[in-house]
Amino acid sequence: MSVLAAIAVLGILIVVHELGHFGAARLQGIRVNKFSIGFGPVLAKYDGKDTEYALRAFPLGGYVGIPDDDPDSNIPLDDPDLLRNRPVFDRAIVISAGVIANLIFAYFLLVSQAVIVGIQDINYQPGVLIPQILTEETSPASKAGLQNGDVILAINNQIFPADENSMESLRKTIQDSPLQSLNFTVKRGEDTFNVAITPELGDNGKGKIGVMLAPNGELIKRRPHDIMEAFTVGAEQFERYTKLTLQGFGQLISNFQESAKQVAGPIAIVAVGAELAKNDLGNLFQFGALISINLAIINILPLPALDGGQLAFLAIEGIFGKPLPNKLQEGIMQTGLVLLLGLGIFLILRDTANLAFFQQFFPE
């Protein structure tokens, strides 16, 4: 059931994205002849007055079809309601509307979580928790004897108090001290001890000890005082998730070789979503919001076959007063589409092969 819930969330996000394009076109009176969820063979369809609505076999995408691209269309090429005959700004609204729809939807998912599930707070305790040692036996933390569940109370007598800033302070201290011996005060159960750890030099020039960090405290949920608090909390979470997503893309670009190994495909995303749903159905709100933000940011990148690539073509047209030749645009878009589909197939095959890893990482 949790797998179906995760797949349903991804399907809803795709529908929201395509509805953004569809709604922006329709509101401007631009012709749309096809609205499809998924690719491949048609499972069900409905022929509306001007548009064919279809559900297809592979629900890993979707598209909004316009008669501009339909060789069988009997609409005159100079029809003012064709997308290509509209001003650059009108076309930009249609192309960017999917991204905007995903961002708006992510925000309202977070507001809905606050109203329906409750606002998640942390009852902070002193120190910073180590939920996992990342590289067993080879990391500085592992060599020093740190274990999962340890709490770092202080470094060189710099105490980490019971507040939300302690984790970032600890991370900064470690990153600013590569190859320098640091005296860690660690709590394990009821025992407290000191241990010297020397952060190694990471690829980004910053120190690291090979651990995951998490706030030390108990998660609690409470109802919002009023609807305005729900909107405020939703906005704060939306800002935080957007910043984290942008930072993730920044790290992917700056450290591509290492970060590319962590890029997840549809299978991995569903596996993670299913685990979150199994633990707490309310987590699906956060899962959906985070994936929706990621989907928006990925689509706005200026890459062929993505919304950002089409916006780049429009920008060129707006600057120079005329579009690139159709054959050149089609060649770039087709090449981008092949590469995108190839990446998608690779990620699906890789993630399927790694399902045993997810089952081990998320044991029953």
Domain boundary, last residue among 221, 241, 260: 221
Q: Reply yes or no on whether the pLDDT at 105 is more than 90.
A: yes
**Looking at residue 347, what is its pLDDT?**
45
Print burial letters for 163-185: b (CB count within 10 Å at least 16), e (below 16): eeebbebbeebbbebeeeebebb
Is residue 80 situated within a structural domain? no
| CATH code assigned at 131 | 2.30.42.10
- Are residues 242 and 361 located together in one domain of the fold? yes
Write out the two tokens for 272: 């993670």
Percentage above 90 pLDDT, the chain: 23
pLDDT tens digits, one per residue of 57-88: 877 678 888 888 777 778 888 888 888 889 98
**Looking at residue 364, what is its pLDDT?**
38
Is residue 150 situated within a structural domain? yes
Q: Which of 16-20, 221-225, 282-286 ranks highest by mean pLDDT? A: 16-20
236 is catalytic: no
| Residues 56/39, Cβ–Cβ less than 8 Å | yes
- Are residues 99 and 152 located together in one domain of the fold? no
Is residue 253 situated within a structural domain? yes
- Are residues 266 and 288 located together in one domain of the fold? yes
**Looking at residue 67, what is its pLDDT?**
86
- Are residues 261 and 355 located together in one domain of the fold? yes
- Are residues 188 and 231 located together in one domain of the fold? no
Q: Which domain holds residue 171?
A: 121-221
- Are residues 309 and 232 located together in one domain of the fold? yes
- Are residues 258 and 318 located together in one domain of the fold? yes
Count the domains in the chain.
2
Report the predicted TM-score, pTM, of the whole model to 2 decimal places. 0.69
What's the half-sphere exposure (Cβ side, CA atoms, 13 Å) at 141?
24
The CA-based angle 59-63-67, given to 5 degrees, is 145
pLDDT tens digits, one per residue of 261-306: 444 444 444 445 445 545 566 677 888 888 888 888 888 888 777 8
Q: 275 or 207: which carries more pLDDT confidence?
A: 207
| Residues 9/288, Cβ–Cβ less than 8 Å | yes
Is residue 297 situated within a structural domain? yes
Is residue 69 situated within a structural domain? no
Based on the number of CB atoms within 10 Å of its own CB, is 202 exposed (0-12), middle (13-18) or buried (19 or more)?
middle
- Are residues 239 and 351 located together in one domain of the fold? yes
Domain boundary, last residue among 178, 198, 221: 221
Q: Which of 45-49, 111-115, 280-284, 302-306 ranks highest by mean pLDDT? A: 111-115
- Are residues 327 and 259 located together in one domain of the fold? yes
For residue 305, give the nearest of 262, 335, 348 by alpha carbon: 335
Domain boundary, last residue among 204, 221, 238: 221
